[in-house]
Structure 1
Amino acid sequence: MENINPYDLAFAFTRRPEVTDANVATGMCPDDTVLVELAGGQVVVFNVQDGYPAVVLGTLYADADGIREHDPLESIHHDFEGEGDYGDGVGDLIAQCTGGVTTMDTVEFFRDRKWPDTDSRILEIPVVGLGNITVQDWSMLDDVRFAGYLLPEPLQDRYFGLLEQDDDPPEAAWDAFMDDLWEAVYAMGPEEQADWFREIHDPATIRARYWVHDGIEYLDAAHTMPRDE
């Protein structure tokens, strides 16, 4: 890749589950700055380095106030030279922002029986899609009371309040609730998302889980404990 297109770069960020918003802010200096908001509340400012049109430089802030107060957390960068698309580069930039936990490829759940609609006791899920799958599986639970008790605590009362309305609450209220649920799940780390997935799928039947990166199994998402050590 010879020249970074900031609009294509911003679009690539929006396709990541760790990102809540990404856009090009031409009013900042330098022009065509890409602003990325992460699910955990952090904000990253990306620019293309003068003279090096394939290199993206980024500055991570705790929140938008950090930009105004010139209080950065750290600097990151990625060289897109020779890459055919933005996927791997964006993944690397996000991994740098989140301390590397997103570098895990998949998470494996080992069950004492076959997973539904499969012939295996092992279910392997891409880490970047774990939050999406967990929310979808939660939304398909038949027991709505049980589903409510599985929610993060700040959302439980609100969920039960919607259920207990005599008249069906307006669709907009459910949409707003689901938006907040998605935000809460994206703000979780991979370990928290995996814990929630386990609770949804009968934790008594799930015997183990392992995190996989480059074919190596780890006991933790931060890849500090290889399984065989």
Structure 2
Amino acid sequence: GKYSYRSSGLSLERVRLYSTQILEGLLYLKEKGIPPLVDLHTGNIVITRNGQCAQIGSYEYSFLQERSRIALFVKRSVYNMQPNNTDEMSKSDISEVICFGRIIFEMVSGYELDTSTLTPKHWHDCRDDSVRQLLTIIFDGTKPVLTLRDIQQLPYFKTGPPLKELTNFQPILVEYSQDIKSILDHTKQQKKTLLTKPTSTQTTTMSVSSKRSSGSLKRSSA
């Protein structure tokens, strides 16, 4: 299947270019009030302009609260990470950082990361010391998680290529209609209802009264 496909990975130059573009895109979305992309993966990264530009797609899933097959792996990774209390990072913020790290790994290795942690085999397949150092920092569970802004200041991105796309970028102003807002609110409410709906079943037990002489039975619900 498509998830088991393996290649030799992208060139290290492409990995650095796309990683920088994706990071800048995530920071831009955050500045515009878009919720953290907790379901970010290589399947919703679009390469355009003859391979020169990586764009983030499908971020509407953050509103619809849909989850992909990697959600469980990301959740396990977040569980093992230390929150950054200084910057008041939420679990969603941490998930977004983990997803970003997973994308970098998959670009450099050429295959899907189908575990919650990196094994020695994964580290070997990173192919480049600078990428290993970057992923070590991102996935380090012994220290507080770095924010995306902190990651942007790491040497790997400070020495990255200039992004011409950002210089000429002119964002399109989008205003959601009231109908769209209502649909999004309704979808979120349905998700919350499904997650919080009790699944307990009522059972009826028979207990013998302490007064055996009366021979009465009491029905009680548990």
For CA contacts below 8 A with separation 6 or more, give which structure has more relative contact order.
2
More helix by share: 2
Return the index of the structure with the highest Cα Rg: 2
Considering the TM-score relative to the shorter chain, is it more than 0.5?
Answer: no
TM-score in terms of structure 1 length: 0.21
TM-score in terms of structure 2 length: 0.22
More strand by share: 1
